[in-house]
Structure 1
Amino acid sequence: ELTSSRLLSFDIFGTLIDWELGVFNAILTTPHFSSLSPSHPMREIKTLLPAYFTAESAIQAANPSLLYSAVVAGSFSQLVRDYNLSVPGTPETEQEALLDSTAKGVGESIGTWPAFPDTVAAMQALGKRYKLVALSNIDEASVARTLEGPLAGMKFDAVYTAEKIGSYKPDPRNFEYLLENVKRQFGVEKGEVLHVAQSIFHDHQTVGKMGLKNVWVDRKAVLGGTAASSPEVTWNWTVESLGELAEMVEKEAA
């Protein structure tokens, strides 16, 4: 039963925050991408995001202690170089400096990425019944801006970041850190934790192996995996929104 859990742990970016739309808009508004022709494939979300994700995953794997804002900046720079993009009208001698400053801006945009429409109200409802803990591939400064901005109105009881842990999901160390710290802070055992996330790649493949109860939030996203592409990964419940999860909990508790 959903109500047998005492604590819900959440991925933030992709589950609470529309990570895909945030990344896509941040990249598309840069001079390197806004100057592309409307028909250019890299202006399509289904082309751009997988290319970006390839760069991001490689950087995270190679540099597990790198701040996420720097990961995003580096991924953007890699994307520009991989596709040999430049800004029309800018002298060749100034392209590198422009790329560096633009990449920094993309990395700093994280705190403005939008929440899904159902997020705040659903989290407020769930917070009345459970402890809420974030386990996020993020840095402290970026998550602070996110909590003050798009997630204003909801509150986590604890926030565990990749910066604090020193590695990125899907590394099992992140989930071990979660379990150790919810027991220390709240006296919650592993069997009382329910992990809620969108990404099969970042979350559910590891959670399943560790035997944690889990909810897949199927946001019909471009990235993160699908049930069909990941038949070996399992979860206890599937919902299409956090609002749906909150409704299920209320019905069960009634």
Structure 2
Amino acid sequence: MKPPRILVFDIFGTVVDWHGSIVRELGQRFPQVDADAFALAWRAGYQPAMEAVRSGGRGFVKLDVLHREILDGLLPRFGLAHLGEAERADLNRVWHRLAAWPDSVAGLTRLKSRFTICSLSNGNLGLLTDMAKAAGLPWDCVLSAEVFRAYKPDPRVYLGAADVFEAAPGEVMMVAAHHEDLAAARNCGLMTAYIERPLEFGAAHIKDVSPVAANTLHARDLLHLADQMGC
């Protein structure tokens, strides 16, 4: 394998534990709420909200806006319709405070020693920057769908990331815990590395992390990926 120049990373589920982080914060704030169900429902609104943008049904808006719209729709279902604006705004920012998986910082640091590492997420720039600051994620660069005004799996995101670094698509490796993200990247000519995150949706909802032969690499976590990349 000819090594890539640039590694670009999906974030939610791949680098950070969105489910566990939201469950912990909800449990502290609202112990009466089924935090597992709330976290899953919030995330379930993610793809439909982005699809409205992808389909041209609405103009591009930041993920923070979409998360807030989904949140406002969820609150009555979970007995939280009484929350005021300040509480809703702060709760929506839980996505800025997501904790990294235990291997993420060490794995990224090792990979950074040899490669340029960069986020490539549907999260907006402010969200990703706040998250990196809070979780200690050592990015060389923060890239977001917001830069390209398109949500993955739109090819503009993957090809745009390569263009930022004046790299050919084949010099870029997409790293993600989601096969659909990797398939879209592969269709654009990127190399792909799958990261197993069986607990992405929580211990009660174990995810199938079976290998897909089309991926360039398959790793247990980011430390294992660093091993495979010679870092």
Q: Is contact 1:70-1:107 (8 Å) kept?
A: no
Match status 1:191 vs 2:170: yes
Gaps of 5+ in 1: 37-41, 88-94
SS at match of 2:45: helix
Partner of 2:159: 176
CA offsets per residue over residues 199-237 of structure 1, 9 Å max, x none? 224x12311322321001011122897456x97x83121
Higher helix share: 1
Gaps of 5+ in 2: 55-59
Q: Is contact 1:68-1:137 (8 Å) kept?
A: yes
Q: Is contact 1:11-1:135 (8 Å) kept?
A: yes
Amino acid at match of 1:204: L
Alpha-carbon distance in structure 2 between the residues aligned to 1:236 and 1:58: 29
TM-score, normalised by the number of residues in structure 1: 0.76
Provide the aligned length of Structure 1 versus Structure 2: 222
> Following superposition of structure 1 onto structure 2, how do residues 204-219 of structure 1 map, counting pairs within 5 Å?
204-219=182-197
Alpha-carbon distance in structure 2 between the residues aligned to 1:235 and 1:112: 30
- Pick aligned residue for 1:35 from 25, 32, 37: 32
CA offsets per residue over residues 86-142 of structure 1, 9 Å max, x none? 24xxxxxxx45x254433112222232111111111111111111112211112222
Partner of 2:57: none
Residues 1:234 and 1:103: Cα distance change in structure 2 (over 3 Å)? farther
What fraction of aligned residue pairs are identical, expressed as a percent?
Answer: 20
> Following superposition of structure 1 onto structure 2, how do residues 147-162 of structure 1 map, counting pairs within 5 Å?
147-152=132-137, 154-156=138-140, 158-162=141-145
Amino acid at match of 2:43: F
Please give the root-mean-square deviation of Cα atoms over the aligned residues, in Å.
2.7
Alpha-carbon distance in structure 1 between the residues aligned to 2:188 and 2:206: 19
Shift of 1:63: 4.1
TM-score, normalised by the number of residues in structure 2: 0.83
SS at match of 1:4: coil
